[in-house]
Chains A and B, each alone.
Chain A
């Protein structure tokens, strides 16, 4: 069994605003092992994004502990959030600049990632000249630029149209598997979770806590489109649907 690299231990979080306080999470416990692809689904507004902020250390829990064994994180958001005034290449270098890792070597690695995943011809273009799918791929490569240990994916496909979405989903999943990254995906899309993850966690409505955890049994099959055609896919869908609404 691989080592745990992220662990939530009885985590609670309360948001404070002038209007009052909101319990966003309570008794939230789970862990992610190295190289694992974990998907978290939950009803809308259950604090899924909060959970990623906690994992990345952008928020500190009110109670409990988030242990991350000193690993580094890459955050990928719903929209690509590419900067319109930078070329694609400059966008990919952004995390290097921020983390002061902007060396020739790092740039070379990012460029080779871009080449490997079909962006080589677009490096000098501006994001507005790219298709939605390519932009999202660029966003993933930007996330991978600093070679983070864990990828935090915050509904990264939800802003795309359905066809693009399936394709980009397969694309991104392939890249993450090939690069051997650990990933924590937050989504409200049950079939996306089943088709991508090794393990699916189901969250309750606010305050969020884990109500169920399932290992997916697709063996070595990691292609999300093929998984969708498997017999056990619909079984998982029904079960998770019930748990989400239960």
Chain B
């Protein structure tokens, strides 16, 4: 299978999802991808779900107001070669706001709406607790995909241990709504009365009794009121969750795995790749971020200095440095030793990372995924120019051929 060309995805897809473990630079890669789309004349939006607001830092926009797409000023983009029909927006997910508007859309009437929004359980679940970010992120992606305003949405997924929590959120929501326990909470009288105590219901009642005993009086009442209010919206939710899943697993979306090159990071990336595949995700490629490269390209020498020539090498370099300095006070020996040591260590890191990446590389090739390497830059990337530099590596026309033509 011939791997796709990354730049073709910018034309053929409406949604690109960037997945990866924490700390690999997912946010930076996502922003670079959106910037490249803008450079190719598309109206691109990058959505970050990251509660740490790193995207704003990377884009240099200052703090992003939650919930509203913010356009990166055209004059700054023009300097990076973005044509007039291209545009770049950034959006920081507002978890509670997104869920609130979902409730407003699907609630049957005004009373149902305020019953939910005023419910204690809802107020806390919607805002403060882990997991709600994934639910509302999915919703936001769907909502944005329905707008004509953006040609391409790049999604930076939350730093999650499960990493595919994000994908599973709609399905889990559906299962939750459909679960028999929830139905029992909603219709205790119905279950107990008309159908009597069947085996399942007896154990389910025990579950409820147990929860009531642990959580104290009133808690289940709140939960049940919350669920009851939600029940009217269940069909809307269900339909929505189905569409979100179809969108993400369908032909309009593609997933890109971002991974780091240090030993453990590669292993985590590989494990994640396997899980994504098992989940039926339309995976397009792998971007190895911050890979140490050898100056001038190619593999580093096997040994620095060459075996048996250490003393000779250091003496020769020291002499060259001393001649260049023309100053007896210059510590030429120390300087030569430091230069050789730094070069040897650099070569070791290059070699170690290359070996660590080998397996993941052949795995990706076997599966017809593209494979791109973003070299470790001597400076951190935290502005648009840095993002453009990263994009050149991600969108290089071919693997290992360096940068894309300007």
Do these two chains really belong together in a complex? no
Contacts from A to B (Cβ < 8 Å): none
